[in-house]
Amino acid sequence: MSRPEPVLLARINTPDSASLETYRRDGGYEALRKALSMAPEEVINEVKDSGLRGRGGAGFPTGLKWTFLPKGHPGPIYLAINADESEPGTFNNRILMEQDPHQIIEGIAISCYAIKSNCSYLYLRYEYGKSYRALEKAIQECYAAGILGDNVLGTGFKLDVVLHRGAAAYICGEETGLIESLEGKRAWPRIKPPFPAIEGLFRKPTIVNNIETMACVKQILQRGAAWFKSVGVPPDPNNPRDAGSFGPKLYCLSGHVNKPGCYEVPLGITARELIEEYGGGVPNGRQIKAVVPGGISMGFLSASELDTPLDFNGPGKVGCLGLGTAAVVVIDDSASMVDVLYNCCRFFSHESCGQCTPCREGTAWMTKIMYRIRSGQGELRDLDLLMEVASSIGIIPGTTICGLSDGAAWPVKNAIKKFRGEFEDYIKAGKSSIKPAELVAAH
């Protein structure tokens, strides 16, 4: 299988790739110069025509989101960039920020010009120290070179980029939780409407986009919407709600695989192709038991579903929540799905902000039930109880403000539905996989 030439990751192995000098030598900021010669509406239309969908998880059309801003608003209008990246198994944003930060800043500048914003807040997870230092240096270089500030590239356009470090919480990846945190408050997601495009940061119109989305915006302005739309897969003619899956995508591959890493591949590659052709297959001659298609909140693919396309539409056809962040985690047949699901439940229970009772209590009880099963004290009816709890929490049944509980419920639904036999055998055997250290931690 011939590998496509990388675009988003084209510069990451360039010596001194994070510096402004090498970025400009490679044609950097020419796409911004081109955008500044266009009307803001023309830039928005270019992004809309490309079919770009947000890379943060939800896959909402980026250009369409930009049009939701109120027309003729006196401002200020804000662009908030989500660089929290707390979904387990996800590290594509980190690579871009550490090794090609100017590509991100150029995408931010283009996007701000398009939506008529003079200020962008870049919200970064606290643990990303190297990303913080790379971005901070790049932003300072841009101010010194006139790429940011009161007169961007001599055009009179004013733009400030503020780098803000969060306090490490999964919930801050939710756009309104991120906004609350930026305002210095507890990161409790807001009830919508109003949506951020109408009333967001500091109660002003706000667009929230992802790091990888900004890199795509830069490439679209440089290469054109037609190029972007030539990569990936068109809409499913049998699904009127499918907006297509266009452009290159950064897939994170980890777990039981010979060559873990971040791979740039056109949207639509199958899980099997990604694992075998790029990841080198599963080590030690073992077989795949399950695959997480895009972060654990998306659920699981079984071994019989490996030919599922990893685009915005494919995982949903086999019962997963979606593509998510395209963080693919491989689980081989040496792993217990009971242990895997317990870790998923424990993560979401810990990261629930606690604002919504169904999420706070539901994630906690799912964790307790899974702990009981792992301790050898489980009963077969526990599996039905887990499914009942998982089906009763989240936005989809309409019981919570944000989608964290949907993400917590999906691996439970998938694991029990697709691997129920393994769970039943574990319960019937009455065995325990809890280590002594875990018993101490639990008490």
In a domain, 348, yes or no: yes
Put simply, whether the predicted model's pTM sits higher than 0.75 gets the answer yes
List 206's β-bridge partners, or say none. Answer: 78
In a domain, 138, yes or no: yes
249 by DSSP, 3-state: which?
strand
Q: What contacts 137, CB < 8 A, 6 or more positions away?
A: 18, 101
Asked whether 259 and 278 are in contact (CB, 8 A), the reply is yes
In a domain, 3, yes or no: no
Domain boundary among 302, 332, 362: 332
Q: Which residue type, as a one-letter code, is found at position 433?
A: S
Same structural domain, 294 and 147? no
Same structural domain, 182 and 287? no
pLDDT of residue 7: 97
State phi, psi for 253 to the nearest 5 degrees: -120, 120
Mean local confidence (pLDDT), 377-401:
96
- pLDDT reading at 58 higher than 90: no
Domain boundary among 297, 332, 367: 332
Q: What is the pLDDT of residues 85-103, one digit of tens each?
A: 999 999 999 999 999 999 9
- pLDDT reading at 440 higher than 50: no
In a domain, 10, yes or no: no
Mean local confidence (pLDDT), 258-262:
97
Same structural domain, 328 and 353? no
Asked whether 170 and 296 are in contact (CB, 8 A), the reply is no
- How many CA atoms within 13 Å lie on the side-chain side of 236? 13
- Residue 200's domain is classified under what CATH number? 3.40.50.11540
Of residues 155, 35, 27, the one with CA closest to residue 103: 27
**Count of domains in the chain?**
3
Same structural domain, 398 and 348? yes
Same structural domain, 128 and 181? yes
Same structural domain, 174 and 319? no
The full 3-state SS of 213-273, as one line of letters, equals: HHHHHHHHHHHCHHHHHCCEECCCCCCCCCCCEECEEEEEEEECCCCCEEEEEECCCEHHH
Burial profile 294-314: b = 16 or more Cβ within 10 angstroms, e = fewer: bbbbbbbbbeebbebbbbbbb
Same structural domain, 398 and 298? no
Q: What is the pLDDT of residues 64-88, one digit of tens each?
A: 999 999 999 999 999 999 999 999 9
Same structural domain, 154 and 58? yes
Same structural domain, 265 and 414? no
List 301's β-bridge partners, or say none. Answer: 291
Q: What is the pLDDT of residues 105-131, one digit of tens each?
A: 999 999 999 999 999 999 999 999 999
Range of the domain at 82: 20-230
Mean local confidence (pLDDT), 143-162:
98
In a domain, 79, yes or no: yes
Query: Which residue is listed with tokens 């809890």?
Result: 434
In a domain, 137, yes or no: yes
In a domain, 145, yes or no: yes
pLDDT of residue 437: 60
Q: What percent of the chain has pLDDT over 90?
A: 92
Strand 206-210 to 232-233 pairing: unpaired
Q: Which residue type, as a one-letter code, is found at position 370?
A: M
Q: What is the pLDDT of residues 1-17, one digit of tens each?
A: 567 899 999 999 999 99
Asked whether 101 and 144 are in contact (CB, 8 A), the reply is no
Same structural domain, 405 and 299? no
DSSP for 50-62, written as a single string: HT-B-TTSS--BH
Domain boundary among 332, 365, 392: 332
- Residue 348's domain is classified under what CATH number? 1.20.1440.230
The overall average pLDDT reported for the chain is: 95
Same structural domain, 68 and 190? yes
Same structural domain, 105 and 152? yes
Split at pLDDT 50, 70, 90, the class of 236 is: confident
In a domain, 1, yes or no: no
Residues 40 and 9: their CA atoms lie apart, in Å, by: 27
- Residue 250's domain is classified under what CATH number? 3.10.20.600
